[in-house]
Structure 1
């Protein structure tokens, strides 16, 4: 044996192993007889396009299978304050010019506004609240701003001369103060709420303007002249008197008026969307109102006094006398996870609202935690599109796979029996196949889904979609199987099997079918992509899997109007891209398998 033959073979590169390319073989390797399966694998690996499709689909499959465990969703979740938020993780990107020079920060649902010690205004986050309105379009020549307050869709500014300015929405006249308010010169506090604005003067009087239908407020309340501070929920106004008493400034008796007993003298109040919290002079926290399961009503037990409190959408953040920050309540956006570096730092000021928190320590360092934004934006109900794409992908792939399994089983059985038995059996089965093929696929599936689907629960409806797709997709495969078996059934090994008395069922499924399984795999792979597209089409038209259960198809359902297409492109672009890429990858795999099984097909 020559020296060259004994030399160690050089390993092919990783790129070559992944994307194919024939390796140099020795004379002894070339003489080896490879099995058909190994030949198919080798041919497929040499097809760079097919390998690209396989890698792409494998990545997508791993993401949609593992992703839902990392990014779970609650199908019943909706959040009105986060509707149609554009993609981006910039909600808490405080401008560099403001850092180290912060006097106040006020937080809206998707944006924040800050003022520096010099009275300059900075706004960041998702500031567009509609296609025509942007809270960042602030009035010119406001002068030195000394106080700011961000509401649901508007901002109030107060300058050093006591004059008010506004930006954002004014549909409910929340940015149009009354004549009496415009002439005030002793404003102490401004509070922007949900479609409303509240002003408190130094002498304890409260002025309200904005949506009076949604917010319960009595301008002739008996506490006028006594109010030191106000806080707003989504539908009410709470006041703290100069004597330390919490009062409700509306007309109705509701959950906000059921004050806890023995609160003592209150030093600070805060509110969430539907609850009220108060801190007394002993540092004890009381929470009441429409307390949900989010945990707002469960303040932590501490070994030190709380001296101030602020509320977000569904959480509270408080400051202790030693400068320690604590948060509790809902944590769906990590808004109660105080950064580790703050646990040993002394906080001198903090700002909380919506789903964001900002804190400044004694070294003037800014710390943030909470909702930074959405990678792919949100939909019409405020749901995160990224999480729904991952969870919807699992459902779309699952529906396509199950539908293919059903259609493949039916197609194999019908095609095998029809091709091998022939005669009247073949005629009957082919006529049935032609009847199913003649049905207008999409309209028929829509009718079945509409008639039956509304009478069954959502989970059973998903199963129904799989069955419908499977039962209507088998005729093409059975014709292919029948044609293959017709060409094989007269070969010698079949005749030999018959002569030794082997049953027809065994001949079909044990001897003939394994010889055509490669063709079945190719057909099933291509049908997989078709089933996913069909499910997406049905869901897009409203006849497939229904919301809130996500699939890539029904995520496109909301994009069938011009307003969404023009203004909220992220609601349909990302779902379209991932569905298109997945289907293309599957088709590339199918084409690669076909070429690998029958290399001569590339020459035809």
Structure 2
């Protein structure tokens, strides 16, 4: 029997990297390669670390699909899916790859496992979205998955000029696309509010949607718990990054993590280590990750799937973080 205390414990691990802000923040290449050092971690042999190698490091459920060989170097972006046994995305040399415990006898999972030809070159961003996946290429959104081709029709506005994409990973499957400071929504159940149609600089989606205005104010919408849709006063100004979790939300303000919504497993109990000098956040299903300026990864809340058990190799440095049921960093 696992106690609630065990499920809610926090873990902080030091990483030798400085990372720029954002939910999936990337380190400039020169900075990422600036340090190589050896570390010693309790219970582990000494190992050489090379920040900027582009290696995916993953931990969490034992049932999670292992990172394929292609994910051990040269990766530039990652996106975790909502389900531990389904799929994740990586971006390498402009090409999207997916891996997971796909049941290829299921036509729907087979569709999701096949990356379309259009997403095999010049892709600049990726996003998982439940039964769908997204890629961004030359300002146009590419989508695949679902149960039939008729579901894959994108708004005409999403075919050019898009600068950011986000996918919902719980409950419903939908996408948010940012174009000219306005949010375009695909397959959503609740319409985009007028205040999200201009002046937006960042987007995030789970069951509910988040958008960050250029004045640092967070707005939210969607068919979710009322408490999650009530943005607290602290997030009405000065916010620099956002991340939508499963029934809760995270925001970054003055280097501190703000959290609101469902707190059943301690999702809102932000630890001390994530209340100063944080530069990147990622809200998962029931757990969250933060990355600090001095290179610490902090995880908190639900640990049934071992999301809080950060492996020693995470000391090697991170250039991006992503949290779902599975936790990932990009070294």
Scaled by the length of structure 2, the TM-score of the pair is 0.72
Query: How many Å apart are 1:98 and its aligned residue?
Result: 3.1
After superposition, residues 432-451 of structure 1 pair within 5 angstroms as none
Determine whether 1:350 maps to 2:325.
Answer: no
Counterpart of 2:174? 196
What pairs up with 1:71-86 in 2 under 5 angstroms?
Answer: none
Residue 295 to residue 132, structure 1, CA distance change in 2 (3 Å)? same
Secondary structure (helix, strand or coil) at the match of 1:94 reads: coil
Given that 2:247 and 2:262 are in contact with CA atoms closer than 8 Å, whether structure 1 keeps it comes out as yes
Asked whether 1:315 is paired with 2:287, we answer: yes
Gaps spanning 5+ residues in structure 2: where?
A: 4-60
C-alpha distance in structure 1 between counterparts of 2:234 and 2:106, whole Å: 50
Alignment pair present for 1:218 and 2:195:
no
TM-score normalised to the size of structure 1? 0.41
In the TM superposition, residue 156 of structure 1 has moved relative to its aligned partner by: 0.8
SS in 2 for 1:256: helix
Whether contact under 8 Å (2:98, 2:115) holds in the other structure is no
Deviation at 1:317, TM superposition (A): 0.4
Q: Distance in 2 between matches of 1:186 and 1:358?
A: 29
Deviation string 1:516-569 (CA, Å, 9 cap, x unpaired) is xxxxxxxxxxxxxxxxxxxxxxxxxxxxxxxxxxxxxxxxxxxxxxxxxxxxxx
SS at structure 1 position matched to 2:290? strand
Distance 1:129 1:155, change over 3 A: farther
Task: Report the Cα distance in structure 2 between the residues aligned to 1:175 and 1:357, rounded to whole angstroms.
Answer: 28
8 Å contact kept, 2:96–2:115 = no
Instruction: State the distance in 2 between where 1:330 and 1:174 align.
Output: 34
- Unaligned runs of 5+ residues in structure 1 are 1-68, 74-87, 362-604
Cα 1:304–1:251 shift into 2, 3 Å: closer
Equivalent residue, structure 2, for 1:544: none
Structure with the higher fraction of residues in strand conformation: 2
Which range moves more in the overlay, 127-136 or 188-197? 127-136
Would you say 1:151 and 2:129 are equivalent positions? Answer: yes
Matched, 1:119 2:97: no
User: Which stretch shows the higher mean deviation, 294-303 or 266-275?
Assistant: 294-303
User: C-alpha separation between the residues in 1 aligned to 2:167 and 2:318?
Assistant: 25
More helix per residue = 1
Q: Given that residues 269 and 277 in structure 1 are in contact (C-alpha distance below 8 angstroms), is that contact kept between their aligned partners in structure 2?
A: yes
Compare CA radii of gyration and give the structure with the larger one: 1
Aligned residues: 264
1:298 to 256, 269, 279: 269
2:7 equivalent in structure 1: none
Cα 1:346–1:304 shift into 2, 3 Å: farther
Cross-structure match for 2:299: 327
**How far has the Cα of 1:165 moved from its partner?**
1.9
SS in 1 for 2:228: helix
Q: State the Cα distance separating 1:253 from its structure 2 match.
A: 9.2
Residue 95 (str. 1) matches residue 95 (str. 2): no
For the Cα contact (< 8 Å) 2:97–2:115, is it kept in 1?
no
> Are 1:140 and 2:113 matched, yes or no?
no
Shift of 1:258: 2.2
TM-superposed CA distance for 1:111, in Å, is 1.0
Aligned equivalents of 1:266, 1:174: Cα separation in 2: 35
CA distance in structure 2 between the partners assigned to 1:269 and 1:359 by the alignment? 18
**Which residue of 2 is the match for residue 506 of structure 1?**
none
Deviation, structure 1 residue 220: 4.5
- Using a 3 Å threshold, how does the CA distance of structure 1 residues 173 and 272 change in structure 2: closer, same or farther? farther
1:51-70 to 2 correspondence within 5 Å?
A: none
Is the Cα contact below 8 Å between 1:231 and 1:238 reproduced in 2? yes
Determine the C-alpha separation between the residues in 1 that align with 2:316 and 2:191. Answer: 43
Give, in whole Å, the separation in 1 of the partners of 2:118 and 2:177.
Answer: 22
1:187 paired with 2:162, answer yes
> Where in structure 2 are the equivalents of 1:515-526 lying within 5 Å?
none
User: Is 2:204 the counterpart of 1:231?
Assistant: yes
Change (3 A) 1:101 1:163: same
The alpha-carbon deviation at position 329 of structure 1 amounts to 1.3
Contact 1:136 1:167 in 2 (8 A): no
Partner of 2:240: 267
Corresponding residue to 2:146 among 149, 157, 169? 169
Distance 2:203 2:90 in 1: 20
CA 227–338 in structure 1, closer or farther in 2 if over 3 Å, else same: same
Q: Root-mean-square deviation (CA), in Å?
A: 2.8
Highest RCO, 1 vs 2 (Cα 8 Å, sep ≥ 6)? 2
Q: Distance in 1 between matches of 2:304 and 2:163?
A: 34
Residue pair 1:148, 1:190 contacting (<8 A) in 2 also: yes
Mapping for residues 204-603 of structure 1, pairs under 5 Å: 204-212=181-189, 217-234=190-207, 236-249=208-221, 254-263=226-235, 264-281=237-254, 283-292=255-264, 294-302=265-273, 304-342=276-314, 344-353=315-324, 355-361=325-331
